[in-house]
Amino acid sequence: MPLHSRTRRSVPLIFALFPFLMQPAFAGDPVNLDSDPHLVAWWKFDETAGKSAADSSGRNRNATLEGAFAFDSHSVAGHNGKALNFDGKAQVLVTGYKGITGPGPRTIATWIKHTANGGEIITWGTADAGKMFQFCFIRDRIGVTPRGGYLYMKAATNDDKWHHVAVVVREGSPPNLHDDVKIYLDGEVAEIDDIGLLDLWPIDTGDKQDVRIGNRYKGAIDDLRIYDRALSDEEIAALNKK
């Protein structure tokens, strides 16, 4: 076959493949959850001295250990690096940061290790029905409440082992616990033990209180993250592998 004949036949094929050849090399690649622009706060608790917990998200939302609480006496071995061990009396405050407010989607993920049940992992909002957002213990289980209804997992976590726990609130009009919230344990969607009678109360988080961490909680917390989007099941599983 003449060379010019082969060339003419190859031209349509090149044009047919052109849209695929122009696709960026990174199309479809998973999001790097450590550099995700929706990661709006990230406390690794790797410090070993002082009273300030650095925000690794790049948003400068550094947290302060209150009272006599300090890394010097409360830094312990973590799941990754170091962790902060709470004594049930002190807490960590993120002054000036109000968390994810209104009905906005969100994800909170962290590692915990404890034997005692009770207290809060992280909380913010306004002290009114539907206006708080509390990732905390409910009837000795990890759960979430907007101060109007509640949702908590069936499995216990108080075995003195590290567990990855997360809560995801997806888009809603507005969102509610029954339809739009998932709780995760060790990378998988947790079996729910109970959901409150007010589970359809809308989540519309207020902005009066700064974010606080570990209030009345007794145990260790490591690698605490807040995203202002709803992470997928696969992304929560990926965080559990970190």
Q: What's the pLDDT score for residue 16? A: 42
Q: What's the pLDDT score for residue 195? A: 74
Average pLDDT over residues 80-84: 97
The CA distance from 45 to 53, in Å, is 6
Q: What's the pLDDT score for residue 199? A: 72
How sure is the predictor about 31, in pLDDT bands with cuts at 50, 70 and 90?
Answer: confident
Does residue 112 lie within any of the structural domains? Answer: yes
Does residue 109 lie within any of the structural domains? Answer: yes
Average pLDDT over residues 200-225: 96
Nearest by Cα to 135 from 39, 53, 203: 203
This model's pTM is above 0.75 = yes
φ/ψ (deg, to 5) at 20: -75, -35
Q: Give 201-227 as a DSSP string.
A: SB--B-SSEEEEE-TT-EEEEEEEEEE
Query: Do 167 and 144 form a contact (C-beta atoms < 8 A)?
Result: yes
Does residue 28 lie within any of the structural domains? Answer: no
CATH of residue 208: 2.60.120.200
Percent of the chain with pLDDT over 90: 80
Q: What's the pLDDT score for residue 18? A: 36
Does residue 115 lie within any of the structural domains? Answer: yes
Q: Across the chain, what does the average pLDDT equal?
A: 89
Query: Do 122 and 212 form a contact (C-beta atoms < 8 A)?
Result: yes
Q: What's the pLDDT score for residue 3? A: 40
How sure is the predictor about 4, in pLDDT bands with cuts at 50, 70 and 90?
Answer: very low
DSSP letter (8 states) at residue 58: S
Percent of the chain with pLDDT over 70: 86
Is pLDDT at 24 greater than 60 in this prediction?
A: no
Top mean pLDDT of 14-18, 38-42, 172-176 is at 38-42
Contacts of residue 199, defined as CB under 8 A and 6 or more positions apart, other chains included, come to: 149, 150, 151, 176, 177, 178
Query: Do 139 and 150 form a contact (C-beta atoms < 8 A)?
Result: no
Does residue 19 lie within any of the structural domains? Answer: no
Structurally, the chain folds into a number of domains equal to 1
Q: What's the pLDDT score for residue 201? A: 82
pLDDT in tens, 93-115: 999 999 999 999 999 999 999 99
Determine the residue type at 54: A
Does residue 226 lie within any of the structural domains? Answer: yes
The CA distance from 159 to 113, in Å, is 8
Does residue 87 lie within any of the structural domains? Answer: yes
207 three-class SS: coil
The CA distance from 219 to 118, in Å, is 10
Is pLDDT at 15 greater than 80 in this prediction?
A: no
For residue 39, what are the β-bridge partners? 227
Owning domain of residue 48: 36-240
The CA distance from 189 to 203, in Å, is 20
φ/ψ (deg, to 5) at 210: -70, 160
CA separation, residue 41 to residues 59, 117, 159 (Å): 7, 25, 28
Q: What's the pLDDT score for residue 13? A: 39
Does residue 9 lie within any of the structural domains? Answer: no
DSSP letter (8 states) at residue 51: S
How sure is the predictor about 12, in pLDDT bands with cuts at 50, 70 and 90?
Answer: very low
pLDDT in tens, 180-209: 999 999 999 999 997 766 677 899 999 999
